[in-house]
Chains A and B, each alone.
Chain A
């Protein structure tokens, strides 16, 4: 989604770049962007630095002891509870991002290659549910999967079940289903953008050289759309690790994720340094996982070619 801003080239060519003119150009550009930059800096970069600092401190009730310590990280990485939560969060976000990309690829492909003049309409149709409240989308899954919910009553009506199954809701599968649905549109867009850039003549060339449709897809289209797959994977994986609403509403005890533990530290438990250390750990670990996933996909793509 950041593509539009990234690719825009400033329209300054064709003008004689006398150094004075260039300097005013630079000054004007910087002056224009500085309010937004400062806002993002003060409300994003500084707070993250504050979180980082807190993760090395200790809290005694309401006072914060600022002596450097790694105790919070020892707790975050060492205590089985946090380790399990972190591990589960990573597993869930990996599965969710994998599934969303897997299901999104064909639809992005369909829109890009078969969408014709209705591409815009298709994209609009796909993205509209994404603009509705996240909370409401999770709630609708609660309604579907609940004990007295849609799926149970439907299965009973069809005679498949004789009594409602409690197994549908409050586990990690419910979390995976809900997140996969919630992030679907996010995965379609980057893949679509990548597929739009695939040079159609290359596919024709592959066909002329004797590749069947499937082979041409595997050897030309798929490898060329790898950047889209990678960014779709990341754009789903990184935010889903930090979700605490879905686990709280549909996850039950077995579906809790690391963000629930972070929320508790900033709420009831009121141990900000530990919460900060958990947040930093989560960010680092998910970045490592994302990096590994990207590396793996790129390697496979290179080998396949």
Chain B
């Protein structure tokens, strides 16, 4: 490795570049928390003073509390459903060989690379044609569709490298198929399952495009933010709400990543969400 280093171009330049790149990634997002605790109503420098008043204002907004509640309902149901669908598909992909395995996998993963507006308007057309009213339920259906690929990725990496002989041993020792699943398989893949739940919930919580087209009168949090963006005076409150959403996403994804790593080390598998 040390020998290899000398054969590579520009190490120190790259370190500096990597640092700048991370700054570029984080700096814009950091302005939200900074201005959410600033006393001035417009986000500009120099900062005026520190205040929590924009956060306190949030609690006194009933529509916001309702939107948060809606987001929670949609997020939890989407997370559970997409994880169930993900478990079934990931298990089938990693454990069985059957005709059409690749195209089916490709179809399930397709929402990842399709423009979201195509997914949103095609679902909207069907929903309108069938005469089903737009509601939180239709938003949830759309969210499940786009969460499944992420659930699949997390779960496949959790199921992969899983030592089959453990299941066989359990079966040989007289455990039923369900008993083997519950007592051997499930504990091994549990971190991946929780990780999938957290990832899907975070995606649903932050998702805007599908919620924009498929929600009826009930707003989710991003839809509520969108509505508030028209009013310049509401900006500090939106920044405060945005900061809370940022923190929630950060925390959930950090936990998901920790669990994923634990699952990976348990099954001696290095792959994962990122690879």
> B112 is contacted by which of A1, A110, A272 (Cβ under 8 Å)?
A1
Q: Across the interface, do A262 and B148 meet the contact criterion of CB distance under 8 Å? A: no
Residues of B within 8 A of A3 (CB): 271, 275
Known: A10-B94, A110-B18. A135 touches B9 (CB 8 A): no
| Complex interface: chain A residues within 8 A of B249 (CB) | 131-133
Give residues 198-237 of B contacting A (CB, 8 Å): 202-203, 205-206, 208-209, 213, 222, 225-226, 229
The number of residues on chain B lying at the interface, defined by a beta carbon within 8 Å of a beta carbon of chain A, is 108
- In the bound complex, residues from chain B placing their C-beta under 8 Å from that of A25 are 96-98
- Nearest A-chain residue to B14, judged by Cβ: A110
In the complex, the answer to whether B206 meets A131 with C-beta atoms within 8 Å is yes
- Checking B7, B17, B96 against A203 with a beta-carbon cut-off of 8 angstroms, the contacting residue is B7
* B3 beta carbon closer than 8 Å to chain A: yes
B122 touches A10 (CB 8 A): no
Count how many chain A residues have C-beta atoms less than 8 Å from C-beta atoms of the other chain.
107
Residues B148 and A40 in contact, CB atoms below 8 Å apart: yes
Would A8 and B94 be within 8 Å (CB), given that A51-B121, A133-B249, A153-B45 are in contact? yes
B46 at the interface (CB under 8 A from A): yes
**Cβ contact within 8 Å between B121 and A279:** yes
- A224-243 Cβ-contact flags toward B at 8 Å (1 or 0): 00000000001100110111
The docked-state distance in angstroms from the alpha carbon of A275 to that of B15 is 47
Residues of A contacting B91 in the complex (Cβ-Cβ under 8 angstroms): 32
Q: A5-B90, A8-B156, A181-B25 are in contact. Are A242 and B117 (CB under 8 A)?
A: yes
Contact of A110 among B15, B99, B160 (CB under 8 A): B15
A259 to B274, CA, bound (A): 29
| Cβ of A40 to closest chain B Cβ, rounded Å | 5
Contact flags (1/0) for A15-45 with B, using CB distance below 8 Å? 0000000000110111011011101110111
Contact digits for B231-267, partner A, Cβ 8 Å, 1 yes 0 no = 0000000110010011001100110010001000000
Give A216's nearest chain B residue, CB to CB.
B7
Give bound CA distance, A292 to B159, whole Å: 37
Instruction: Answer yes or no: A207 CB below 8 A from chain B CBs.
Output: yes
B21 touches A238 (CB 8 A): no
Please tell me which stretch of B49-57, B59-67, B103-111, B183-191 contacts chain A, meaning at least 4 of its Cβ atoms lie within 8 angstroms of it: B103-111
Which of A12, A126, A275 makes the CB contact (< 8 A) with B97?
A12
Within the complex, which residue of B9, B42, B108, B113 is in contact with A40, where a contact is CB–CB below 8 Å? B108
Q: Which residues of B contact A266 (CB under 8 A)?
A: 121, 124-125, 213
Min CB gap B51→A, angstroms = 17
Task: State A242–B105 Cα separation when bound (angstroms).
Answer: 24
CB distance from B136 to the nearest CB of A (A): 16
Interface contact B123-A47, CB-CB below 8 Å: yes
Is A139 close to B, CB under 8 A?
Answer: yes
Let me know if A244 is at the binding interface, CB within 8 A. yes
- A40:B97 contact, CB within 8 angstroms: no
Does B195 have its Cβ within 8 Å of any Cβ on chain A? no
Q: Would B145 and A43 count as touching, CB distance under 8 A?
A: yes
In the complex with contacts A259-B117, A283-B118, A26-B32 CB distance below 8 A:
no
With contacts A144-B28, A157-B45, A279-B121 taken as known, whether A213 is within 8 angstroms of B8 at the C-beta atoms is yes
Q: Give the chain B neighbours of A140 by CB distance below 8 A.
A: 28-29, 31-32
The answer to whether A106 and B115 have CB atoms under 8 Å apart is no
Q: Cβ of B22 < 8 Å from any Cβ of A?
A: yes
> Which residue of chain A has the shortest Cβ distance to B102 in the bound complex?
A6
Mark each residue of chain A from 30 to 69: 1 if its CB lies under 8 Å from any CB of chain B, else 0: 1011011101110111111011001000000000000000
User: A residues within 8 A CB of B116?
Assistant: 239, 242-243
Is B88 part of the binding interface, using a Cβ–Cβ cutoff of 8 Å?
A: yes
Which residues of A sit under 8 angstroms from B174, Cβ to Cβ? none
Would B107 and A45 count as touching, CB distance under 8 A?
yes
Q: Does the CB pair A243–B90 fall under 8 Å? A: no
A-facing mask of B147-172, CB < 8 A → 1, else 0? Answer: 01100110011011000100000000
B245 to chain A, nearest CB (A): 6
- A residues less than 8 Å from B225 (CB atoms): 135-136, 139
Determine how close the nearest CB of chain A comes to the CB of B68; give it in whole angstroms: 14
Whether A50 contacts B98 in the complex (CB less than 8 A), given A131-B206, A239-B113, comes out as no
CB of A173 within 8 Å of the partner chain: no
- Given the complex, which residues of A lie within 8 Å of B43, measured CB to CB? 143, 146, 148-150
Query: Contacting chain B: which of A70-78, A117-125, A294-302?
Result: A117-125
Residue of A nearest to B164 (CB): A11
Give the docked Cα–Cα distance between A16 and B20 (Å): 56
Interface residue B24 (Cβ < 8 Å from any Cβ of A)? yes
Q: Is B173 an interface residue (CB 8 A)?
A: no
Q: Which of A144, A152, A216 contacts B31 (CB 8 A)?
A: A144
Q: Which of B8, B229, B273 has the most CB of A within 10 A?
A: B8
Taking A26-B98, A111-B18 as known contacts, 20 extra A-B pairs with beta carbons closer than 8 A to each other, sorted by chain A number, are A1-B274, A5-B93, A8-B160, A10-B93, A32-B88, A32-B96, A33-B89, A36-B89, A36-B108, A41-B107, A106-B18, A135-B222, A135-B225, A149-B44, A157-B46, A189-B275, A213-B6, A266-B124, A276-B121, A283-B118
Would you list the 4 A-B pairs with minimal beta carbon distance, nearest first?
A242-B115, A29-B96, A47-B122, A29-B98
**21 interchain pairs, CB-CB under 8 A:** A1-B273, A4-B156, A4-B275, A32-B88, A43-B123, A47-B123, A48-B118, A48-B122, A50-B126, A107-B17, A113-B4, A114-B11, A127-B274, A132-B206, A136-B245, A137-B29, A185-B25, A262-B121, A263-B117, A266-B121, A279-B118
